[in-house]
Amino acid sequence: MRKLCKIGDIVVYKNEKTYNCFPNIVLTPSGKIIVAFRQAKDRQKELGFTTHTDITGKGMLVTSSDGGRSWDVEAKEIYDHILGGMNDTNITLLSDGTILAVFYRWRGLMISDVKDLKEWDNVKWNSDRDILNGKFVWRLDGTYTLRSKDEGVSWDDPVKISFQGNDRIEAINELHSRGKALECPDGAILLPVNGSAPTNWANPIRSLIVKSRDKGLTWEYYSTIAQSDDTDFYETFVYRTVSGKMVAFMRGQKPIWRYLKTARNRESGLYTSESCDGGLTWTPPKKAAFEAPSTPFDVIRLNDKNALLTYGYRKPPYGIRARILDKECENIDGSEEFILRDDGLGRDLGYSSSIQLPDGRIFIVYYFYGEDSIRHIAGTYCTYE
């Protein structure tokens, strides 16, 4: 099996006033690299901590036209909404050149305005310091899609992903998603999403697939990848192998609302499931033998048909890691791990996304921070030898 050899690290985008995280990357036919990410106000100076739910959250992007040597100084807005904070702006390049963007949104409601408070509405992640969540109720407002036909210069209006329940599943409208969309040979789009049914986060989060035949304008329920009474399956990435088999890479943890007092120490890891019928049915989820704590996963096909798996490593030594998988992703447990970064200062990092450049080099983006505590978008170049 060939190996990754690290070349070096770069800063893709950094702004001392904003919190930038959860990047996603595509390489367009013209050679432009586009990195989309979530940006919000940096609350550290006023609150003394960081938060992933913020009403100022919005989707942004930066581009490079020289293979990543230089990047836009100013980030361009993809979408913002005055009533809610965006998270996880994921972008997928479709076969006709359209870029499909997927994000989910939180709505921040003043506690005084909410008449039906639920036990899971106001989670104090940072104990008494949690000023924001002490004032607001954060509720999911669902997952949305946008499209660009000019390499991210302009975008259409967002469309919410929703579907009615049927004899196979209850209605789940407030979905959230991290994984990229997957375009099928017939042009249909499959998107891994996550949700609880009924819309109640006291229930475990299940991993689902929704399907669109019109580039994300309308959606229907397609299948359930994984669900369990004692495990949350979410932030799923679905990869199609050379043979057409689909492999789901899922973040799995004990249900958050049952483990609030020990939420930071919940069991976590990579779970995989396979489908040989186009994503209609899936094997029972299997936990990987190696550690991959509290992180989503990204997988791309390399030029030699092998697969690159990348992920953040959210325990000491904090950083970014990768593995080369065989063409059918059958060697996951036995794959060699490559440590790309081990200089992280804490667990607030990762959410990797990768491309392979025309010259064969691999470029991996993620969010990171150093001694200045500024969360920024960073990248690592590797050769594949």
Quick check: helix, strand or coil at residue 47? helix
Q: Are strands 159-160 and 206-212 parallel, antiparallel or unpaired?
A: unpaired
One CATH from 1.20.1530.20, 3.40.50.620, 2.120.10.10, 2.60.40.420 for 4-384: 2.120.10.10
Among the listed residues 152, 147, 145, the one whose alpha carbon sits nearest the alpha carbon of residue 28: 152
Q: Decide if pLDDT at 72 tops 50.
A: yes
Biggest CA-to-CA distance, the chain: 60
CB 347 within 8 A of CB 313: no
d(CA 232, CA 377): 27
Degrees, nearest 5: CA angle 150-89-261: 180
Question: Considering only CA atoms, which of 87, 217, 211, 221 is closest in space to residue 158?
Answer: 217
pLDDT score, position 85: 84
> 216 pLDDT exceeds 70?
yes
pLDDT for residue 369: 98
pLDDT higher than 80, residue 112 = no
Q: Tell me, what amino acid is at 295?
A: T
Q: Name every residue whose Cβ is closer than 8 Å to that of residue 317 and which is 6 or more positions away in sequence.
A: 339, 342, 343, 344
Q: 198 versus 141: which is more confidently predicted?
A: 141
Buried-exposed string 30-57: b where 16+ CB fall within 10 A, e elsewhere:
eeebbbbbbbbbbbeeeeeebbbbbbbb
Identify the bridge partners of residue 221 per DSSP, sorted by sequence position: 210
CA triplet 314, 316, 319: central angle to 5 degrees?
55
Higher per-residue pLDDT: 200 or 30: 30
Instruction: Provide φ and ψ at 371, rounded to 5°.
Output: -60, -25
* Range 127-155 average pLDDT: 78
Give the integer Cα–Cα distance in Å for 311 and 77: 26
Backbone angles phi, psi at 376, to 5 degrees: -140, 170
**Which element (helix H / strand E) includes 323?**
strand 319-325
For residue 153, how many other CB atoms are within 10 A of its CB?
Answer: 9
Residue 264 has pLDDT above 60, yes or no: no
Q: In percent, how much of the chain has pLDDT > 70?
A: 87
User: Kind of pairing, strands 307-313 and 297-301?
Assistant: antiparallel
Instruction: Give yes or no for residue 328 having a pLDDT over 50.
Output: yes
Banded model confidence at residue 164, pLDDT cuts 50, 70, 90: low
Each domain of the chain, given as residue ranges in start order, spans 4-384
CA separation for the pair 115, 118 (Å, rounded): 10
Say yes or no to pLDDT of 125 above 50.
no
Q: What is the pLDDT of residue 199?
A: 53
At 63 the pLDDT is: 99
Which of 63-72, 198-207, 250-259, 271-280 is least confident? 198-207
The residue ranking higher by pLDDT, 168 or 184, is 184
Question: Each residue of 169-190: pLDDT tens digit?
Answer: 665 657 889 989 999 999 999 9
